[in-house]
Amino acid sequence: MFKKVNSTKNLYKPDAVIFDTDNTLYEYAPANEKAEKAVERKVNALLGVNSKLYRTTYAQSKKEIKKQLGMTASSHSRLLYYQRFLEILGFKAQLMTALDLEQTFWRTFLANAPLFPGVTQLLDYLRSKNILIAIVTDLTSHIQMRKMTYFNLEETFDAFVTSEEIGADKPDYRNFELVLNKLGLTKNNNIWMVGDNPYTDIIGARSIGATTFQKINNLEKIGEGKYMPDFVFSNFEEFYNNIINLIN
């Protein structure tokens, strides 16, 4: 599926294409589930905490950190989640254990997070046509850079922005203005934004006048009203096949 949703929007060759990361370049949920189960097993082995207690306490720690930090990159930090998790259980400042749990999470996560089919082909094609490509993503720079390195994309992008750099998650307009600045472009350039989330990606990209593409995964809904993208697609092969003639 690749279709126009906004009937007033036409496609023109872009000066740059900006990509979200999580659930856009790869599927987040399966990797996250396996990573959390790996941590659960380690917590049981190291601390004797059963699965039920682990899950309820972890959910509480995550909720507390997000409430404390709001929509910031650090609010997604597994290290902070596990630190708070240990504190809630009365283990106090078990710093090495918190670090160990975080590393277990991300090692398992990355080992189970392949890129969607067609991503590398699309990125290589855009580069071959001298179209700038960039990342704008939430979460901390260290983790998102680590993902790019794992994907062998560490030298692929012309600009890379995480919400940690400006102190607020998308859709905060500063994320998008910063990536334009890094690319040496302005709102007058033709920018495309590719992401899965109608709120963070579509609304955010509108702040720089970008043409928006929502990637639909599984049963996700197409954004409506002010969250409506200009185009939707379900896989990168379709995206590539529908833009190749336009760009050539």
Condensed to tens digits (0 to 9), the pLDDT of residues 94-133 reads 899 999 999 999 999 999 999 999 999 999 999 999 999 9
How open is the CA angle 232-26-177, to the nearest 5 degrees? 65
pLDDT of residue 184: 98
Whole-angstrom distance, CA of residue 103 vs CA of residue 35: 10
pLDDT of residue 92: 82
pLDDT of residue 78: 96
Whole-angstrom distance, CA of residue 135 vs CA of residue 193: 10
CATH class for the domain made up of 2-26+116-247: alpha beta
Question: Token match 């062998």: residue?
Answer: 152
Catalytic residue, from 15, 20, 124, 169: name it: 20
Condensed to tens digits (0 to 9), the pLDDT of residues 167-183 reads 999 999 999 999 999 99
Catalytic residue, from 22, 138, 169, 172: name it: 22
Residue-range domain boundaries for the chain = 2-26+116-247, 29-111
Neighbouring residues of 73: CB distance < 8 A, sequence distance ≥ 6: 138, 139, 140, 141, 162, 163, 164, 167, 169
Neighbouring residues of 235: CB distance < 8 A, sequence distance ≥ 6: 116, 117, 118
Residues in the chain predicted with pLDDT less than 50, given as ranges, are none
Active site residue 20: yes
Whole-angstrom distance, CA of residue 100 vs CA of residue 97: 5
The reported pTM is 0.94
Dihedral of alpha carbons 118, 240, 18, 2, sign: negative
